[in-house]
Amino acid sequence: MDFIARKKLAEAALSAANLSRRQMLGGTAAALAATTLFAPSVIRAQGAPVRVGIGLNYGPFNQPWRRGCWKIAQTVTEGGGEVVAVRGEPSKQSEQDAALALLDRDINVLVLGIYSLESETAFIVDEAHKRGIKTVGFCVNVKDSPAVLEDTWGAAITMGHFIQNALGRQGRIAQTAESRGFYTPFDMQSDMLSLMTTFEPRMEMLPFISGSVSSEDQISKGRENMLALLQANPEPGSIAAFMSWWWPLTIGAMQAVQQMGRSEVKLFNNFTSDQLLGEMATGNSQIEFSTDVPYHIIGEEVGRIALALGRGEQVPNISHRAPVQTILPEEAAKVHDEIRAMDDAAIAFLKPFGG
């Protein structure tokens, strides 16, 4: 059975499951729904193993990215393929350098992502295709290639509605993410939240607060930024909510809120980690709600696509999207246990590859 046929079977299974809207919005249920969607079993490669190249460019804050790389590597390995990895750091330049290096490592398939946009890697893809190397996008679109993406707009809309409901559609809010241009989905999401806010006459979005880049101490940066924001708005109630699209900045903001005794400021977060979920699970963190991206599910699908491409199967150039995971404080402890188990498994599995 080829890749397209397996995909149709998986989609039919998802339709038959008839999950309710509440289940689809729940964190664990969303992950389970995605597992159903991306459920076709891996057919082991026959003959020469498929060699899949991947850059391990995550840093200490990029735990979701690491989980995605783990699942790509595990899926390829368990499917009878071989992983060829190059270690880098979290930046566009590093992942492009890693991709170029992998072109000379006798690979059959190249995985591209997660920072560089399609236009920024087109020259790499052209060179790969000249050499007969197939390409697949991991959380980014890739020229003339299939890709598996996070639902960037879906997460922003989900977050926007939750914030508006939590505030009764009134009050001044601020938001932060990594520096503009560093990670495009954060730019898209902050723009979407700003747009949604403009349609609520009793709400006001304050100017965007830049949170540096992943190679810096972003917890300290988040604390510094939040202290400055609260000092500039000292009156109780002058800031109703603070939205952080990246978890280290949320941790820093929470520390500042506690230091300043501003318990009225509601905190909202995108992307989770061991530390973030640990804080959220205490019930005293002021983090009201978090969205997340199931990178492990994305990684599994990227791994399956890479194997299919390497075996010469016809895989359409379609961009698939993973569902949005949502986490409330009462769900944080359970998700925390799941994340810690995955992180331990990812560290152990990727160690031989330099991860």
What HEC string does 271-313 produce?
CCCHHHHHHHHCCCCCEEEEEECCHHHHHHHHHHHHHHHHCCC
Task: Identify the sign of the CA torsion 342, 343, 345, 346.
Answer: positive
pLDDT digits (tens, 9 = 90+) for 279-321: 999 988 899 999 999 999 999 999 999 999 999 999 999 999 9
Give residue 37's pLDDT. 44
Nearest to 192 by CA among 231, 144, 158, 165: 158
Task: Map residue 12 onto helix, strand or coil.
Answer: helix
Give residue 138's pLDDT. 98
Round to whole Å and give the CA distance between 182 and 175: 16
Residues of the chain with pLDDT under 50: 6, 9-45
Q: List, as own/partner pairs, every contact residues 202-206 make where C-beta atoms lie below 8 angstroms and the sequence separation is at least 24, other chains included.
A: 202/169, 202/170, 202/171, 203/164, 203/167, 203/169, 203/170, 203/171, 203/172, 203/173, 204/171, 204/172, 204/173, 205/172, 205/173, 205/174, 205/175, 206/172, 206/173, 206/174, 206/239
pLDDT digits (tens, 9 = 90+) for 221-275: 999 999 999 999 999 999 999 999 999 999 999 999 999 999 999 999 999 999 9
Give residue 46's pLDDT. 55
Give residue 215's pLDDT. 83
